[in-house]
Amino acid sequence: MSSPAQPPSTRAPAPAPSPSLAAAPISVQPPPLQQKPPPPPPVVVGPPAPAPQQQQQSGPPHAPPQQRPRICFNAHCKDPKSDGQRRRGWRLRSGDFADLCDRCYGSFEQGSFCENFHLDVAGWRNCESCGKRLHCGCIVSVHAYVLLDTGGIDCILCARKSHATMAPSQIWSSSVHMPQNVADRKDNYVKNWRPPAGQFSSQWRQNNLWSVSSIQSDLQQRLAYEFDRPSGSEKLLPGRTYIHAHEKKFDDIHDRPTTPAGMNQIIRERYANGHTQHSSLDPTYSYALYHREGSNPNIHDHSHHGGENDHLSSRKGVTPDPCSAVSAAFKLDSHHPSSILKDDPSTLPVGLSPSFSSANGPKDHIRIGPTQQQQQMASSSLQKQLYSHSLIDNDFQAQLRNGRPRMDAKARSQLLPRYWPRITDQELQHLSGEYPKNSTSNSVITPLFEKMLSASDAGRIGRLVLPKKCAEAYFPPISQAEGLPLKVQDASGKEWVFQFRFWPNNNSRMYVLEGVTPCIQSMQLQAGDTVTFSRIDPEGKLVMGFRKATNLSTEQEQPIKSVNGVPPPPEANIKVSAPDSSPNAAVPRPVKANAESKSSSPVEQATPSKMDKGALTQKEGPGTASSSPGLVKRKATSVGPKIKRFRMDSEESMELKITWEEAQELLRPPLKAPSIVVVDGHEFEEYEEPPVLGRRTYFVTDQSGENHQWAQCEDCSKWRKLPVDALLPSKWTCSDNKWDPERSSCDSAQEINMEELAEMIPVKPGAAKKSKGKVDTDCIDVSDGLDTLANLAILGEGESLPSQPTTRHPRHRPGCSCIVCIQPPSGKGPKHKQTCTCNVCMTVRRRFRTLMMRREKRQSVKDSEMPRRKEPGQSSEPVPQTGSGAAPTSTASSPKKADTNGDAPEGMAVDNKRTSSPIKNQIDLNSQPEREDEQSPKSDAMRLLRDNPT
DNA sequence: ATTGAGCATGGGG
DNA sequence: GCCCCATGCTCAA
């Protein structure tokens, strides 16, 4: 990477493209022409780099040649209007070429253009090796030098010499800035690269893979500027490639000139072909690539990334699939044959392909090795970048500028939108701020992808399922199922080592990161939260950020923040990311699921319109591109990325729905009068306070057909008949009965008896009699679950016991504090440990304590009275004492022994033997409500109580 | 009995 | 109809 000391001129080619450039379909102008501070991706980390030199290339950049065809593009031309044929010089951003007069072209071709015309402009530097003076400030000479890691430059000749002794990654680092010599460089790499001793070190692979891929950004960007496709539909349509042209150039490239002119000549030819040829992927080429990759099985694991069906891959490879053009070459030789061929047939889609991945030509099978792999990876990156540039329209560019999904083009064109990183500028900056110490100056952070954690991901298994394409595109290639360890840093800089591996799955692969539990827990992530993966280049470090689902403000890449301990409801997942004040901020991420285009075709996804529909829609805010008309409204089903399973099961959701509906019925406006707000002509009541829960009432139609509602007094539990329009506060007593003065006191008798009431109201209003001392088992209706259990214990004190077995938990109602209702949906909550002090456990302990105390007390009373109260046919034996009797089946079926010691930390359990408690089963906080009738303490207790009425 | 590893299944895109 | 992938299921430690 370039050093901070590098002057603007040399720094210019470095990454950090402006938004426009990043998304711009084409540009020939070198980075120095960038005028705007570029937003990510990627973001430059480290000391602020000197502003790119604004020096313009040798000619009016904004004057399209076609507008002045007879004028030499070179502004310094002494005779710009001289007659004579114009010749193509360097490529312009518009996609055209600088038309030069013969004289200027001669200089250009001979490599003396800058000497002739740019002597007076800034950007001249000396080669660190030979001292040769080079102009580093314009596109014309951009190929003539290489930026050194240590700062400064080397002329291309010196660079080439030094490359012979450089490691691949080094070469790539420096080569990033010498795109003109890709062919030569490639040859050098292949010839000079030596794999690490022994096994193909996974570490090496990792490092280098990352290094290479990380450099891609630079390379891509820089090259993008130089080789980018012209904008317009003619270029690189999805599914279209320049394969023919590329193939044609393969051999040419081998001996292609290294001079700028020579390079440009190649470019010219390429583009000349490319502009006119939109041939789809050539099967032959795919085949060739495939075999290249496979030619060296020792180094390339064919099986990697879908190798199980490589044969299919090769077959499918002939099918043009534009969508993944991006990583075509990358995958190809980077052990992703299937992906490439299957998904990325359009290998070598664009621009640099010929220069890079094809440098060796289809015949160089044998020489394929890791180095080449890297090369192709790099080239693919280039391709992807270029590819994306070419296929992303202005809308998408605008979206990018607005901070939408940011990642390299590969991801955009290849990955499902749900995996697009939604990192914001601020997040990136924040992240960058976390790494200055770990990164070299000018490090680049490239958001790779993100994934919303599924229940499995966030579960205790510790396996994070990786999107296949993401894994194959950004993680090291692995051929063995065991995979390899992968170091990932979190936002705080802590390094984690996960096992990146895969499982064979249906002729494919399923990639997982194992051992993520500590990290997940460290970040306090839950299902629905999102983890993001970024890469810091050129170090190639993987950085794992996160975003809490419940967080409206992005937590991404920030030190661990505990949003809250409660798992957000599924709905919370809908908005994952956060609004950002910055114009580039990513908008709240929409839910993924339907965010992605329905079409699975990569092509379609890559299509701007589709993008809008898909991922881009998510965003948002006013002014963002997503708000542009024509966007397709997300389907209602798109509730979130693959969170369907995260959603509650049908039954659970049903239950929740019912509860919610009930809650709705109980909602009452707050006491404070609302203010009226008019929005678009519609009046809205705006409450400063949240609604309150009203008292539950029951609507009935009496025999005369009149509608009423019945409510129960808070104090006396008598039921009062009210008009249907009555809204009761949560606490309502007879004294509040303004509709029936005669019964506005608890002293007043109930209008009808309980039997009559019971016929009308589905609820058992028995509690009304509680005040009278008579315990009606019906009252258990009001108390559910453990409440019931506790109540039973209370009721059981010499009172009547439940006359009917209510083993099934009644419908949950608002405010229900039963064990069921106070727990998260079945299976959704964490398992409670014996030492757990959560509300649930504490409640259970408390109730159990009460229960046990009363039961024991009652038992003792019974024991003392038993002799005289014993009646024939009634099994009044103290069940607990004998361990037999009540509910033998249920207890027997229970795997867990009870421990009645309610005071102990593990006091939820009831030790049947020691305490003589009828409750043999330990209260299982993790038990499923639906199984309550079989295993729940309540059912057991009830059964016990039923069987032991006295 | 618990936990982990790995494969199988099947819904959804 | 294929592929992805979330999760279930089975088996072994």
> Measured from the CB, is A759 under 7 Å from any atom of strand B?
no
What average pLDDT score do residues A913-919 get? 34
> Tokens in use for A697?
């009432």
Return the closest nucleotide (C1') to the Cα of A642: C6
pLDDT of residue A667: 60
> For A378 and B13, how far is CA from C1' in angstroms?
30
> For A183 and C5, how far is CA from C1' in angstroms?
40
Return the closest nucleotide (C1') to the Cα of A316: C2
Rounded to whole angstroms, the Cα distance separating A17 from A523 reads 32
> Measured from the CB, is A78 under 7 Å from any atom of strand C?
no
Work out the burial of residue A177: count CB atoms within 10 Å of its CB; fewer than 13 is exposed, 13-18 middle, 19 or more buried: buried
**Protein-proximal nucleotides of chain C (any atom < 7 Å from a CB):** 1-8
Phi, psi torsion values for A683, nearest 5 degrees: -85, 135
Distances in Å between the Cα of A531 and the Cα atoms of A472, A527, A655 are 17, 10, 30
pLDDT in tens, A917-944: 333 334 444 443 333 333 333 333 334 3
> Measured from the CB, is A650 under 7 Å from any atom of strand C?
no
Asked if the model's pLDDT at residue A94 lies above 50, the reply is yes
Asked if the model's pLDDT at residue A466 lies above 70, the reply is yes
Work out the burial of residue A872: count CB atoms within 10 Å of its CB; fewer than 13 is exposed, 13-18 middle, 19 or more buried: exposed
Looking at residue A86, its amino acid is: R
> Measured from the CB, is A312 under 7 Å from any atom of strand C?
yes
> Tokens in use for A414?
């290849």
Rounded to whole angstroms, the Cα distance separating A211 from A215 reads 6
Work out the burial of residue A774: count CB atoms within 10 Å of its CB; fewer than 13 is exposed, 13-18 middle, 19 or more buried: exposed
> For A649 and B1, how far is CA from C1' in angstroms?
28
Q: Of A78-92, A433-447, A638-652, A709-723, which has the strongest mean pLDDT?
A: A709-723
> Measured from the CB, is A482 under 7 Å from any atom of strand B?
yes
> Measured from the CB, is A324 under 7 Å from any atom of strand C?
no
Return the closest nucleotide (C1') to the Cα of A461: B4
A662 — pLDDT class (breaks 50, 70, 90): low
> For A911 and B1, how far is CA from C1' in angstroms?
20
Asked if the model's pLDDT at residue A752 lies above 80, the reply is yes
> Is beta strand A692-693 parallel, antiparallel or unpaired with respect to A667-668?
antiparallel
> Tokens in use for A297?
């099985």
> For A537 and B5, how far is CA from C1' in angstroms?
34
Rounded to whole angstroms, the Cα distance separating A282 from A288 reads 10
> Measured from the CB, is A645 under 7 Å from any atom of strand C?
yes
Q: Is the dihedral of CA A691, A692, A696, A699 positive or negative?
A: negative
A721 — pLDDT class (breaks 50, 70, 90): confident
Q: Which residue has the tokens 């041939």?
A: A279
pLDDT of residue A456: 82
> Measured from the CB, is A495 under 7 Å from any atom of strand B?
no
From residues 443-472 of A, which are strand B contacts by CB within 7 A?
Answer: 460-462
From residues 523-552 of A, which are strand C contacts by CB within 7 A?
Answer: 527
pLDDT in tens, A361-396: 333 332 323 333 333 333 333 333 323 333 333 333
> For A923 and B1, how far is CA from C1' in angstroms?
18
> For A483 and B3, how far is CA from C1' in angstroms?
22
pLDDT in tens, A270-296: 333 333 333 332 322 222 222 223 333
A3 — pLDDT class (breaks 50, 70, 90): very low
What average pLDDT score do residues A158-173 get? 46
What percent of chain A has a predicted confidence (pLDDT) above 70? 27
Rounded to whole angstroms, the Cα distance separating A601 from A596 reads 11
> Measured from the CB, is A642 under 7 Å from any atom of strand C?
yes
List all residues 6 or more positions away from A125 whose beta carbon is below 8 Å from its beta carbon: A7, A9, A10, A133, A134, A135, A136, A145, A152, A153
pLDDT of residue A898: 35
Q: Which helix (H) or strand (E) holds A252?
A: helix A243-254
Closest residue to B1 (CA to C1') is A895
pLDDT of residue A690: 58
pTM value > 0.85: no
Distances in Å between the Cα of A335 and the Cα atoms of A264, A307, A767 are 32, 8, 72
> Measured from the CB, is A949 under 7 Å from any atom of strand B?
no
> Measured from the CB, is A503 under 7 Å from any atom of strand B?
yes
SS3 A523: coil
> Measured from the CB, is A648 under 7 Å from any atom of strand B?
no
Closest residue to C3 (CA to C1') is A508
Rounded to whole angstroms, the Cα distance separating A301 from A293 reads 9
Q: Would you tell me the crossing angle of helices A260-276 and A243-254 to the nearest 10 degrees? A: 160
List all residues 6 or more positions away from A101 whose beta carbon is below 8 Å from its beta carbon: A72, A74, A77, A79, A80, A82, A84, A86, A87
> For A647 and C6, how far is CA from C1' in angstroms?
12
> For A871 and C9, how far is CA from C1' in angstroms?
53
pLDDT in tens, A338-365: 333 333 333 322 222 222 233 333 333 3
Work out the burial of residue A507: count CB atoms within 10 Å of its CB; fewer than 13 is exposed, 13-18 middle, 19 or more buried: middle
Q: Is the dihedral of CA A379, A380, A386, A390 positive or negative?
A: positive
From residues 318-337 of A, which are strand B contacts by CB within 7 A?
Answer: none
Return the closest nucleotide (C1') to the Cα of A455: C6
Asked if the model's pLDDT at residue A718 lies above 70, the reply is yes
A235 — pLDDT class (breaks 50, 70, 90): very low
pLDDT of residue A672: 66
> Measured from the CB, is A690 under 7 Å from any atom of strand B?
no
pLDDT in tens, A524-576: 887 788 888 888 877 778 888 887 775 433 333 333 333 333 333 333 332 33
Return the closest nucleotide (C1') to the Cα of A635: B13
Q: Of A113-127, A254-268, A369-383, which has the strongest mean pLDDT?
A: A113-127
Rounded to whole angstroms, the Cα distance separating A400 from A586 reads 9
> Measured from the CB, is A344 under 7 Å from any atom of strand C?
no
Annotate A889-941 with DSSP letters as a single string.
HHHHH-SSB----TTSTTTTS--HHHH--S--BPP-TT--GGGHHHH-HHHHH
List all residues 6 or more positions away from A444 whose beta carbon is below 8 Å from its beta carbon: A15, A16, A42, A43, A44, A45, A214, A217, A218, A536, A537, A538
pLDDT of residue A412: 58
Closest residue to B12 (CA to C1') is A642
> For A446 and B10, how far is CA from C1' in angstroms?
35
Report the largest interatomic distance among the alpha carbons of chain A, rounded to a whole angstrom.
130
Asked if the model's pLDDT at residue A307 lies above 70, the reply is no
> For A457 and B2, how far is CA from C1' in angstroms?
20
pLDDT of residue A123: 81
Regarding predicted confidence, which is higher, A392 or A437? A437
SS3 A399: helix
Phi, psi torsion values for A543, nearest 5 degrees: -120, 135
Q: Which residue has the tokens 């991922």?
A: A615
Regarding predicted confidence, which is higher, A854 or A154? A154
A666 — pLDDT class (breaks 50, 70, 90): low
List all residues 6 or more positions away from A673 whose beta carbon is below 8 Å from its beta carbon: none
**Protein-proximal nucleotides of chain B (any atom < 7 Å from a CB):** 1, 4-13
> Measured from the CB, is A316 under 7 Å from any atom of strand C?
yes
Looking at residue A112, its amino acid is: S
> For A455 and B6, how far is CA from C1' in angstroms?
19
Phi, psi torsion values for A452, nearest 5 degrees: -80, 130
> Is beta strand A484-490 parallel, antiparallel or unpaired with respect to A541-547?
parallel
Q: Would you tell me the crossing angle of helices A182-192 and A168-175 to the nearest 10 degrees? A: 170
> For A232 and C13, how far is CA from C1' in angstroms?
61
- Strand segments, DSSP code E, in A538-659 are 541-547
A433 — pLDDT class (breaks 50, 70, 90): low
What average pLDDT score do residues A826-831 get? 42
> What is chain A's mean pLDDT, rounded?
50
